[in-house]
Chains A and B, each alone.
Chain A
Amino acid sequence: MITFDDNGIYCAQAGIYIDPWKPVDKAIITHAHSDHARWGMNSYLAHRDALPVLRFRLGEDINVEGKEYRESFSINGVNISLHPAGHIWGSAQVRLEYKGEIWVVSGDYKLQDDGISTPFEPVKCHSFITESTFGLPVYNFPSVESLKEDINNWWRQNAAEGNNSVILAYALGKAQRVLQQLDTSIGKIYTHGAVDNINKLYEESIGPLNATERITTETDRKEIKGAMIIATPSSAGTPWIRKLSPYKLGICSGWMQLRGARRRKGADRGFVMSDHADWEQLNTAILATGATNIYVTHGYKSIYAKWLEDNYGLNATEVDTLYVGEQADEESGVEPKEGGADEGV
């Protein structure tokens, strides 16, 4: 019922692709991250909350239709509905049912309730397509509460020492999540333009966020003291960010679980915050679907598929896709510090 071809994940009966990476006629989009929502499709379908970002990123003139969660519709006998994936706001799992056979394409997901996205809901199915970005038992993410405490303590301490706090977070999803965890009594919150653009879309279509000020060419940088600045990973190392001195740099990413990654980033602090599922969450989510066939995409595919087979006796298959997961490069543009060979005088 579902196949994987050069264009993406395909349902021939309905004639639709899910998150295709080449231009096709009909595309259902799980979420608006750029590796899942690409340009050039004749028509798009996605959750209602994802539409403003899709239009913003792919063009106002795209042909796109919005659906509510659990609102089912039928294409050529295939019953289709979207279900919350908890990855970012407007992210969805796609459920497809044909002649009693049920597939769920989950896109990216997490089980933690981040306070911004509609929380993940398990959907019973026979076949489940899962990502495996953090499909390794070393990834055990801290709770939302402890992260909130860590980030605010860090900000408070930096402010007390006369430093700004700059957090690099992906503009769509993570930036809003960080913003809503901040304790606004500590100080003022500023945003990079790219973050502010997405924040505005959120506020227009979903609801209010904590108050922020966008940094523009007119902003008097001397006014920014002991503040929190939410910026995109690509601003690392740029003159834009250097003008915020003195500042401490924090990075929010699941990769920060590993010490090597924290150190290579050249950041002052790494917060283990991800919009993907960690090891426990992946296992929990997959068992909750009751599926016997699991298709494993981007991440530690082969390792995770073997684990599913060995440990739970599931039919697990690796699938090559062009999705990139929690990409290092979206996370930060900070160049790794290569320790060149140290060979004496």
Chain B
Amino acid sequence: MKAFSDVFTQIDQTTSTNEKINALVGYFQTAEPKDAIWCVAILTGRRPKRTVKSGELREWCIELSGIPGWLVEESYHIVGDLAETITLLLPENTDVKEYKLHEVIHTLIALQEKTDEERKEYIIGMWQSLTKEQLFVFNKLITGSFRVGVSEKIVIKALAKAFDIEENIVAHRLSGSWDAGTTSLLDMLTTVSIADDISKPYPFYLAYALETPVAELGNLDDWQIERKYDGIRGQIIIRNGELFVWSRGEDLMTEKFVEFAILPGIIPDGTVIDGEIIPVKDEQLMPFHVMQTRIGRKKLSKKHLEDAPLVMICYDLLEYKGQDVREKAMTERRALLEQLVADARGEMELLPLMMSPLVVATDWDEVAQERLRARDVGCEGLMLKRKDSVYKTGRRRGDWWKWKVDPLSIDGVLIYAQRGHGRRANLYTDFTFAVWNGEELVPFAKAYSGLTDKELVEVDNWIKRHTLDKFGPVRSVTPTLVFEIGFEGINPSPRHKSGVALRFPRILRWRKDKAVKEANTREDLMNILKAQG
């Protein structure tokens, strides 16, 4: 545990990617293999199922620390992380012991079968015999959510360096689902074929947002331009007559997408297609929330399927006739993909696959015009891909860019404020905004990011002097301040008083120039909703 806790602390203390990689390389080269594979699993989000409830952890923490329950809750609210809160509240141990990481994890997994008394005894025993650093790591192992600023890309780079294997190969061998309890790290990294796990997807190639004026990308003829759809990015895999559908979150979601079940037999074995899964009805794209509702259902009725039939808009071809074709040029891969989809359509007219249409333009100005129209056709913007680009691994700059339309926005009135977390715990930084509905203000969005530190302090000061009422951590304030709230999309929501729910709301700016009466209305929101289809 100590070695893992040390590498965790090292990674946590640096903002430099290189230092993070080097710390991991050092760990992978010296750690016991059974521990190292768990380190990889945890850092790439493949943690074991949770076996201790947070209610139990709180209860035992209250008991061991002697701090009353309400104060533990307040502390948790401010720290924002239960594992850390408990670590800070428990007394420092003078008598510490050393454990092996994989043994601790295996014991935690086995707790599932144990009685409440045995579980409590184990956890409290550990709490009393670890240093603060290890205690935090231990609590994180219980609660999951290991966010340490280490992306899968960093883990891949570190493994590639530690075992001297090419990054692409490491990425591929690591993808898909595997169990750290039964897998050997060395075997997994050195096993040569793609056939040993026929469900294995390729790591997705992701684009950064365009950072320069588009004209600086050079000759338009070098670029392939597509629309950026708002669905679920996924891979359809057909191997050995079987179908696998993966989402970008690396979840195997084959069962959720029954439309694709007919593909084996129509699409040849050894095919992997990258695309966007999206509901299309009567040749019309449907908004994201329609799919969200469908994905959320446990059981799919015939009506659900008819209401939101899914197709994949195909972007790219990664495997063709059993060969990894990611090193071929974009245009070559696209040509193969077009042929493949056309052949399949010959077999079956109502094919749940569509080619992602190319945007045709004669100059960058026309491309820019096309981007502005994106929302009208249900898209988020454009994708710009170099025609000679290979299919890379992870998020990369240079060959692919996403060029999204500006967010939608609306002016709302600040009505409630709540304290932030961590260093902002003294400041009121979590805001609720309202729009006018006649003479009444109805809340429609919560947002906390987007203001500068200076503005936050200014707003905080204002809130403290204009509080109408306090209830728990929330203050209601005199409706006065107006903010422009940006968002990516809008969904109908009967659960909210405003009747809508925004996607990714954030503060764009403080409209000091606007009086409270000039804020937008509920009707304005409804109009945006209608325009979204």
* With contact pairs A310-B68, A345-B402 given, residues A264 and B13 touching in the complex (Cβ less than 8 Å): no
CB distance from A216 to the nearest CB of B (A): 28
Measured between alpha carbons, how far is A331 from B75 in the docked complex, in Å?
Answer: 22
Residues of B within 8 A of A257 (CB): 88
CB distance from A330 to the nearest CB of B (A): 10
Residues of A within 8 A of B89 (CB): 137-138
Residues of B within 8 A of A311 (CB): 68
Does A335 contact B88, Cβ atoms closer than 8 Å?
no
A contacts with B, residue count (CB < 8 A):
44
Q: Is the interface of B mostly helix, strand, loop or mixed?
A: mixed
Does A260 contact B402, Cβ atoms closer than 8 Å?
no
Residues of B within 8 A of A310 (CB): 68
Measured between alpha carbons, how far is A345 from B230 in the docked complex, in Å?
Answer: 10
Residues of A within 8 A of B81 (CB): 259-260
* With contact pairs A310-B68, A335-B453, A345-B383 given, residues A138 and B233 touching in the complex (Cβ less than 8 Å): no
B425 CB within 8 Å of chain A = yes
Does A138 contact B78, Cβ atoms closer than 8 Å?
yes
Of residues 422 to 436 in B, which have CB atoms within 8 Å of A's CB atoms? 422-427
Measured between alpha carbons, how far is A264 from B427 in the docked complex, in Å?
Answer: 15
B336 CB within 8 Å of chain A = no
Measured between alpha carbons, how far is A133 from B427 in the docked complex, in Å?
Answer: 11
A329 and chain B: residue at smallest CB distance: B453
CB distance from B313 to the nearest CB of A (A): 12
B71 CB within 8 Å of chain A = yes
B470 and chain A: residue at smallest CB distance: A302
* With contact pairs A263-B12, A338-B449, A345-B206 given, residues A138 and B75 touching in the complex (Cβ less than 8 Å): yes
* With contact pairs A333-B453, A344-B248 given, residues A260 and B421 touching in the complex (Cβ less than 8 Å): yes
B53 CB within 8 Å of chain A = no
Measured between alpha carbons, how far is A268 from B16 in the docked complex, in Å?
Answer: 8
Tell which of A137, A322, A328 touches B424, judged by Cβ atoms closer than 8 Å.
A328
* With contact pairs A258-B79, A259-B12, A307-B71 given, residues A264 and B85 touching in the complex (Cβ less than 8 Å): no
Measured between alpha carbons, how far is A260 from B424 in the docked complex, in Å?
Answer: 10
B504 CB within 8 Å of chain A = yes
Residues of B within 8 A of A144 (CB): none
B461 CB within 8 Å of chain A = yes
* With contact pairs A268-B13, A341-B504, A344-B248 given, residues A303 and B74 touching in the complex (Cβ less than 8 Å): yes
Tell which of B67, B383, B461 touches A137, judged by Cβ atoms closer than 8 Å.
B67
A299 CB within 8 Å of chain B = yes
Interface size class of B (residues with CB under 8 A): 35 or more
CB distance from B297 to the nearest CB of A (A): 22
B200 CB within 8 Å of chain A = no
Of residues 331 to 345 in A, which have CB atoms within 8 Å of B's CB atoms? 331, 333, 335-336, 338, 341, 343-345
Measured between alpha carbons, how far is A274 from B84 in the docked complex, in Å?
Answer: 20
Does B426 contact A137, Cβ atoms closer than 8 Å?
no
* With contact pairs A260-B79, A345-B207 given, residues A136 and B74 touching in the complex (Cβ less than 8 Å): yes
B107 CB within 8 Å of chain A = no
A269 CB within 8 Å of chain B = yes
A322 and chain B: residue at smallest CB distance: B461
A266 and chain B: residue at smallest CB distance: B15
Residues of B within 8 A of A264 (CB): 422-423
Does B149 contact A137, Cβ atoms closer than 8 Å?
no
A226 CB within 8 Å of chain B = no
Does A300 contact B425, Cβ atoms closer than 8 Å?
yes
A325 CB within 8 Å of chain B = yes
Does B88 contact A263, Cβ atoms closer than 8 Å?
no
Does A268 contact B67, Cβ atoms closer than 8 Å?
no
Pick 30 A–B contacts, CB within 8 A, sort by A.
A133-B426, A136-B74, A137-B89, A140-B88, A258-B84, A258-B422, A258-B423, A259-B12, A260-B80, A260-B422, A261-B423, A262-B12, A263-B149, A264-B422, A267-B15, A268-B14, A298-B426, A300-B78, A300-B426, A311-B68, A322-B464, A324-B457, A325-B426, A328-B424, A328-B426, A328-B453, A329-B453, A335-B453, A336-B453, A341-B488
Q: Using A258-B79, A328-B424 as known contacts, list a sample of 4 further A-B pairs with CB atoms less than 8 Å apart, ordered by residue number in A.
A: A138-B75, A260-B79, A260-B423, A299-B426
